[in-house]
Amino acid sequence: MNKEIKKSDFVQSLEKGLNVIRCFDMDHEQMTLSDVAKKVDLTRANARRILLTLQHLGYVNSYDGKMFSLSPKVLSLGYSYLSGLPFRELAQPYMQELAREVNESCSMSVLDQSDIVYIARVHTKRIMTISLGVGTRLPSYATSMGKVLLANLDPMEATKLVGNMKFEELTPFTLSKNAFLQHLDMVRKQGWAISDQELEIGVRSIACPIRDKKGKVLASINISGHASRVSLEDLTKKYLVSLQQTVTKIEQALVNL
């Protein structure tokens, strides 16, 4: 959880620099100085100083002085976090085995405030309009992995976190805030969660938590498929067993980590 800090301790220039890095994405791989300034709500002078500093540090490229793009060095920022998750690499072969068995995509994520963040993915079919990969963020309230992660927080902490979330009706199936809180109680009891087209029409998924040897939830793992191929009955009667078996294999391997 974020903690409040004194205004004198807050480095605004660092915040602006990180915002500039984050403003580049799949739809904005290259941008002009004016594009960046507008997207991050900075003056041109501020945006220019930040871009030139990032370029000097190697995080931004500019071949003509007009168009800017991120450099591969930016990956080192995320890798510092991923390298501290040894269970991620340990789980990868089990996820690949699961994806081959069910012939559907398999992903792993962790919770970051109101979002889930993908830390591993094995895909077999493209089922969503957005591209999913390591680092992708999705709203926790509309995903099976998010439900699992929220359900395994302390109930009071989960209620407070959900209470501060802004729920957007992403599809006609997206749960309201009150309905979601009630839904979490069921997820806690059964130990797994389903998302039935709550994030995107046509996408269904089922998720389970992964725990360390002390019982602490480290991440969540799911199977996702298109509703035209995967029925709700398939999720609970067919895929859940395979998913739970994979979780058991990963957790047994974690004991020896």
Question: For the residues 186-191, what does the mean pLDDT come to?
Answer: 96
Task: Show me where the domains of the chain are located.
Answer: 7-74, 85-255
- Residue 24 neighbours by CB distance under 10 Å: 19
Q: Is the pLDDT of residue 257 over 70?
A: no
For 7-74, give the CATH class. mainly alpha
Q: Is the pLDDT of residue 78 over 80?
A: no
Q: Do residues 92 and 106 make contact, with C-beta atoms less than 8 angstroms apart?
A: no
Please give the CATH superfamily to which domain 85-255 belongs: GAF domain (3.30.450.40)
Q: Is the pLDDT of residue 12 over 70?
A: yes
Distance from C-alpha of 212 to C-alpha of 206, rounded to nearest angstrom: 20
**Half-sphere exposure in the Cβ direction for 231 (13 Å, CA):** 4
Q: What is the pLDDT of residues 100-109, one digit of tens each?
A: 999 999 999 9
pLDDT at 2: 54
- Residue 190 neighbours by CB distance under 10 Å: 12
Q: Is the pLDDT of residue 54 over 80?
A: yes
DSSP 132: P
Q: Do residues 193 and 240 make contact, with C-beta atoms less than 8 angstroms apart?
A: no
Whether the model pTM is above 0.85: no
| 114: exposed, middle or buried (Cβ count in 10 Å: 0-12, 13-18, 19+) | middle
Q: What is the pLDDT of residues 192-216, one digit of tens each?
A: 999 999 999 999 999 999 999 899 9
Strands 60-61 and 193-196: unpaired
